[in-house]
Amino acid sequence: MTERAPAWKRYGDSLALLAGLVLLWWLLSRWAGEEALTGPAETLARAQELLQSRRFHGHVTESLTALGYALLLAALGGLGLGTWLGVRRLAGQVAEPILVALYALPKITLYPVILLIFGLGLPAKVAFGAIHGIIPVTIFTLNAVRTIRPVYLKVARTLRLTPWQAFRTVWLPAALPEIVSGQRVGFALTLLGVLIGEMFASQRGVGFVLINAIGLNDVPTIMAAAFLLAVFAATVSAILLKIDRALHRRTIRA
């Protein structure tokens, strides 16, 4: 890898691009009219108003709870399932096309089934978020474990490492970068799943705030909620991306 550019240079262009996008947003809102598309300043004002209202806090807490449980299920479940399928070669070969087919399926069509099984409320949202997230996490983990270089495993065998030692010192470090990439994709999809769940059948949560605002054509609230969601999602995603890149760089250098 070549010498990395200084920080101001790396982020300066991104910031300029973001500024350009905000300008475009402002121009669009001027062109479409304030009642069709709220401009940046008004959206920020409404977002601040939302953040200060107690009712919105309740919705955020509800969504974060559902997201937390769903992420836990998707991350750990996907990790376990992916590792198992990666170690058992035949099981992995059998399962991978099924997983890929499930990944491409618009899972929203399955939402009524989830509702019929879990009923309205938190469990349905959690289940829906988890089925969105668990598949990419499993696919990434499966590939991460399967593509560990055989020579590493031979070394572990030669040194007669116990299974736990081998896992801690060989398997985990070798597979970690790809696993983190999978968790990043998993996070985005779990969030999407929870939100769709709240939009379709819920009385609480940020998804409900959104669909309610859509029903009332309350454009400032739609824009403000979408803006807050985008900021939240992008922040978490950026943090995970940073870890992801750092791990990948370390592997390349090693």
Partner 1 sequence: MTRAGWIRTAIVLGAIAALELVTQAGLVSRHTIIPPTAMAAALWGLIASGEIVPDITKTVSNVAAAFVLSVAGGFVLGLLIHAAPRLRRALDPLLATYYAVPFFVFYPLLIVIFGMSDLPIIVIGFLFGVVAMIIATLNGLDRVPRVALKVARLSRMDPVSIALIIKFPAATPYLFTGIKLAVAYSFIGVIASEFILSGAGLGFAISYAYNNFDTPKMYALMLFILVSVTAVNMVLHTIEQRMLRRRGLAR
Please give the Cα distance from 226 to 25 (Å, whole number).
14
For the range 204-208, what are the long-range contacts, defined as Cβ-Cβ under 8 Å and sequence gap of 24 or more? 204/58, 204/59, 204/62, 205/59, 205/62, 205/63, 205/66, 205/125, 206/59, 206/60, 206/63, 207/63, 208/59
Please give the Cα distance from 33 to 38 (Å, whole number).
8
Task: Choose the binding region for partner 1 from 16-24, 47-55, 137-145, 164-172 (rule: CB under 8 A).
Answer: 16-24
Q: Does 120 bind partner 1 (CB under 8 A)?
A: no
**Which residues in 212-229 are b (16+ Cβ under 10 Å) and which e?**
bbeeeebbbbbbbbebbb
Q: Does 6 bind partner 1 (CB under 8 A)?
A: no
CB of 163 to partner 1, least distance (A): 26
Measured from the CB atom, the residue of 51 and 105 that comes closer to partner 1 is: 105
Measured from the CB atom, the residue of 161 and 236 that comes closer to partner 1 is: 236
HSE value, Cβ hemisphere, 13 Å, CA-based, for 5: 7
Q: Does 117 bind partner 1 (CB under 8 A)?
A: yes
Give the angle subtended at the CA of 35 by the CAs of 33 and 36, to the nearest 5°: 70
Kindly tell me which residue out of 60, 87, 110, 247 binds partner 1, with binding defined by CB under 8 A.
110
Instruction: Determine contact, residues 66/197, Cβ cutoff 8 Å.
Output: yes
Tell me the two tokens of residue 49. Answer: 């108003």
Measured from the CB atom, the residue of 147 and 165 that comes closer to partner 1 is: 147
Measured from the CB atom, the residue of 87 and 161 that comes closer to partner 1 is: 87
Kindly tell me which residue out of 22, 23, 27, 32 binds partner 1, with binding defined by CB under 8 A.
32
Q: Does 94 bind partner 1 (CB under 8 A)?
A: yes
Q: How many helices (H) and strands (E) does the chain have?
A: 11, 0
Tell me the two tokens of residue 232. Answer: 């939240």
Q: Does 106 bind partner 1 (CB under 8 A)?
A: yes
Q: Does 105 bind partner 1 (CB under 8 A)?
A: yes
Tell me the two tokens of residue 135. Answer: 């598949």
Q: Does 211 bind partner 1 (CB under 8 A)?
A: yes
Q: Scan residues 135-164 and list those touching partner 1 (CB under 8 A).
A: none
Query: Residue numbers of the site for partner 1 (CB under 8 A)?
Result: 5, 10, 13-14, 16-18, 32, 36-37, 90, 93-95, 97-98, 100-101, 103-113, 115-117, 185, 187-189, 191-192, 195-196, 199-200, 210-211, 214, 217, 219, 222-223, 225-226, 229-230, 233-234, 236-238, 241
